[in-house]
Amino acid sequence: MADLTKKEEYAEPIFVNGRFENPFPTWKQPGLFNLCKYFLFDSNESAILSQESLDATLPVLQPDFKDFQSSSPDGMRVAWLGHSSLLVQFDGVTILTDPIFSKRCSPFQFVGPKRFRDAPCQVSDLPPIDLVLISHNHYDHMDYHSIVDLQKKYGSRLTWFVPIGDKRWMEESGCTNVREMTWWQEETFDNHENIKVACVPCQHWSSRKAYLGVNQSLWSSWCVIGPTQRFYFAGDTGYCEAFKQIGRRYGPFSLAGIPIGAYKPRWFKRAQHVDPEESVQIHMDVRSEKSIGIHWGTFRLTHEHYLEPRTKLKEEVEKQNLQPEDFITLNHGEIQFITNSKTK
């Protein structure tokens, strides 16, 4: 870990008139005019050709969670459950990120963005889980039905970590044991005194009501620090200076989940969603030994081809002279065991 006795400026959220603001010069709030321009006039390459092509190019595997019943001392287990949902296990703790198992990421299940790849499992199939990390309150990251089902299954055994401003909504949805945190705040995890959770910055925005109620809650990425392994979850973000700060303060990381999709057109999405080139830069900034691409291949949210994030990621990894296994993608439901040097 970096020497925190040295003076360094760390990004802090701005709170003005009841709303949070990004402190980064790279931020630009998406406006209604550009949203209309995006939907009406931008070229869209995201069409899905056929179910057969999807099954061949982006298969959905049925995960076998038997190995998640006990933690290995030699590394980390990780499963990609679609979009930004990762199941990660290390140092005796099992973590779920931004869970969404619903058919649509929408306030309603009859309209809104629909999955073109089914969830590889449902909440009822999951192994024991200790904590859930929520990055922000957009519907593709804070899904009501998935949260309700998780709370019903695990009850008070489950601890929820959410950015400041989201605790009330979580509790109104039936959740107990909710920890609400702001950037750079750290807490020790219940019943796991050797596990530390840190809320850290990213560049995004929040709202559950389109352009009403914008930024009344914060957005964040997360670090989970164990005695032998470190995990970083980038959430949903545009590129900003915060990632170098995170790397200096909490890196190196054994594993990071970093978004690689939903980035076109760049004139509209750059501030809020990274492209694969920027994703690889985040991987290097936070000093991650291994990274997995998330936030792609599940919902048609933007205008790039559904396989472009994976292709562009491979190209950028090669361009930066990284090893192919340093930053990878998984199929839906695929489980990997990550072995690396033990980062302390």
Q: Could you tell me the pLDDT band of residue 182, with boundaries at 50, 70 and 90?
A: very high
Q: How does pLDDT run across 129-162, given as a tens digit for each residue?
A: 999 999 999 999 999 999 999 999 999 999 999 9
pLDDT at 35 over 80: no
Q: What is the pLDDT of the chain when averaged over all its residues?
A: 92
Q: Could you tell me the pLDDT band of residue 44, with boundaries at 50, 70 and 90?
A: confident
The three state secondary structure string of the chain is CCCCCCCCCCCCCEEECCEEECCCCCCCCCCHHHHHHHHHHCCCCCCCCCHHHHHHHCCECCCCHHHHHCCCCCCEEEEECCCCCEEEEECCEEEEECCCCCCECCCCCCCCCEECCCCCCCHHHCCCCCEEECCCCCCCCCCHHHHHHHHHHHHHHCEEEEECCCHHHHHHCCCCCEEEECCCCEEEECCEEEEEEEEECCECCCCCECCECCCCCCCCEEEEECCCCEEEECCCCECCCHHHHHHHHHCCEEEEEEECCCCCCHHHHCCCCCCHHHHHHHHHHCCEEEEEEECCCCECCCCCCCCHHHHHHHHHHHHCCCCHHHEECCCECCEEEECCCCCC
**What domains can be seen in the chain, in order of their start residue?**
60-338 (3.60.15.10)
pLDDT at 240 over 50: yes
Looking at residue 36, its pLDDT comes to 64
**Taking residues 281-308, what's their average pLDDT?**
96
- For the ranges 62-76, 94-108, 213-227, 251-265, which has the lowest average pLDDT? 62-76
**Taking residues 236-263, what's their average pLDDT?**
98
More confident residue, 297 or 2: 297
Q: Could you tell me the pLDDT band of residue 42, with boundaries at 50, 70 and 90?
A: low
Q: What is the pTM of this model?
A: 0.94
